[in-house]
Chains A and B, each alone.
Chain A
Amino acid sequence: MIDKRVSLEEAVAGLSSGMTIGIGGWATRRKPMALARAIARSSLTDLTVVAYGGPEIGLLAATGKLKKLIFGFVSMDHFPLEPHFRAARQAGTLEVLELDEGLVHWGLRAAAMRMPFLPSRIGIGTSIVEQPGLKMVRSPYDDGEQFLAMPALKLDAAIVHVNRADKAGNCTILATDPFFDELMARAADKVIVQAEQIVETEALGFPEQLRFQPFERSVVSQVVHAPYGAHPTAGGFDYGIDLAHLKAYSASAGDGWDDYRTRYVEVSPDAYLDAVGGADHVRSLQPAIY
């Protein structure tokens, strides 16, 4: 059987400065935080990130990894404004391509289909379509309507957090929303899956759980074992959002950042887990109320 398992460090060592990277999940749900923290610790720079953004964006902005963000929003839902992302934007140091949430979906879909663009009405009538690099296209049919030609969001790499994977890259997302991780993966040349648990193929629960497989294994390049690796965001049914930690993370913007970074970023995954209260604490985190 093919074995795609690599360590967190090996996975990040396979990325390069200047890459365009898609990050799965949505806001404070099922973010590949272990990989995001490992990128934050690495020597990578000048990254362009495509995301339905949560705390990973602020983390990468505050550690100087980001050149450009292609996004529809950055929010931590219960703490709507992401302070580290705001600081980077307000300092004028973070370039953006601002999109509608659905346009992010559409751009990823175009890349996944190897199309240069897909037409959309979204953005027409707003400031979105005025951004450099976006062009319109006219329907060749009788309607003659003009659309935004949403360009493909081609990714050099995608990183996603899945609940279960085998070593060959067969995986399942058991959380209630798969978000757009599938399109991120299909839009990318290289896909790094971080898995809450790596199990034998027989333990993936197939065929009953077949509908929870987001993509076939040939899409997956590498599999990283990352227990509690979505923390402080939700790990599906494995654990809920750590709101207290997100609050502390938010409060660390400014003077508190060095301390936060020392305690929670510049540490190994094991030390991180200890610092945030241990495995029992993370497992006990209840689903958030929206």
Chain B
Amino acid sequence: MTDTSYSLADLCIAAAAEAWRHDGEILATGITLLPRLAAGLAKLSINPALMMTDGENAFVAEPVPVGPRGDYKVKVEGWAPYARTFDNLWSGKRHAFVAPVQIDRFGQTNISVIGDHARPKAQMLGARGFPGNSIHHQNSFFFPSHGKRSFVAGEVDYVCTAGYNPARWADGRKPLGLDLRMIVTDLCVMDFGGPDHAIRLVSLHPGISVEQVRDATGFDIVVEGEPPLTPAPTAAQLELIAWLDPHGQRKSVFAGDPPGDRRQA
């Protein structure tokens, strides 16, 4: 296998799957294609105890391949109506990996509006379950286009998830279940391991420099020494990813479906 035999999507999926490695028997929720594939990969490789759904109302014993299912029979193992999803997440036994539109230095994210809330420049989904998710269980974030429009200076336009910003906490007290874990982008992997949970660079995707990450981020990030390269997916991981995404939908996540190793690009 050569260094260019995996795509950027494959690299990000393998990196994001690590988010659930030590989570044990909890619900893994990956929203949007790439985090969903990452959750499936985690369950099929590093953490088989994970609970997953079919994206609708059933818990499944095996991650459901995305797209048209052909002869595939969904392996239903339980009932997951929304009321139960709320009960589950309020208990803290979940790790969601979601794809917000904006994030700030506190890890606060936005999927609601761009611009003024009373008359938005762009109305998006609304806060959905983000506020509740953010204070009850682990959360990780995926950004397909790492730039200053997504990694914003100041605060996000509408704060949908609580972050490490004591000024917004009631009595300055950290919300019970606030636990931000990982950020995966088209440039790098980050976490919240800096001082006071500051966002820290964990690894660079091959061919990307620290300067590129800094230039694409609207706030300071913590960089400790020379960051390692994001590990290339293994042949076994690539095989599982291909099984989870039989129609190759992941090829459309990044424009032009670039290789994961961009050193030769």
**A residues in contact (CB < 8 Å) with B:** 26, 53, 71-75, 80-81, 85-86, 89-92, 95-96, 98-103, 105, 121-128, 136, 145-147, 176-180, 289-290
Contact = CB atoms under 8 A, between A and B. Distances in A.
A74 B120 CA distance: 15
B58 to A, nearest CB: 7
Most chain B Cβ neighbours within 10 Å, of A95, A99, A136: A99
Nearest to A290: B55
Interface in B158-183: 158-163, 165, 168-171, 173, 175-176, 178
Interface in B47-103: 54-58, 67-69, 79, 81-83, 86, 89-90
B122 interface: yes
Contact of A289 (B68, B117, B128, B129): B68
B7 interface: no
Nearest to B133: A100
Contacts of B129: 72, 100-102
A173 to B, nearest CB: 11
B154 interface: no
A127 B132 contact: no
A74 B170 contact: no
Given A102-B90, A127-B158, A290-B56, 7 more contacts: A90-B119, A101-B132, A121-B175, A124-B162, A126-B127, A126-B159, A126-B160
Contacts of A122: 131-132, 135
19 contacts: A73-B125, A73-B126, A74-B125, A75-B128, A85-B123, A95-B118, A98-B112, A99-B127, A100-B131, A102-B86, A105-B86, A125-B108, A125-B159, A126-B160, A145-B171, A177-B57, A178-B81, A178-B83, A290-B56
Contacts of A89: 113, 119-120, 123
B130 interface: yes
Contacts of A128: 127, 131, 160
A124 B171 CA distance: 11
A63 to B, nearest CB: 18
Contacts of A86: 122-123
B121 interface: yes
Contact of A145 (B120, B130, B163, B173): B173
A125 B125 contact: no
Most chain A Cβ neighbours within 10 Å, of B163, B169, B175: B175
Contacts of B127: 72-73, 98-100, 126, 128
B131 A103 contact: yes
A108 B251 CA distance: 42
Contact of A121 (B57, B118, B128, B135): B135
A288 to B, nearest CB: 8
Contacts of B125: 73-75, 80-81
B140 interface: no
Contacts of B120: 89-90
Contacts of A179: 81-83
A125 B161 CA distance: 7
B134 interface: yes
B46 interface: no
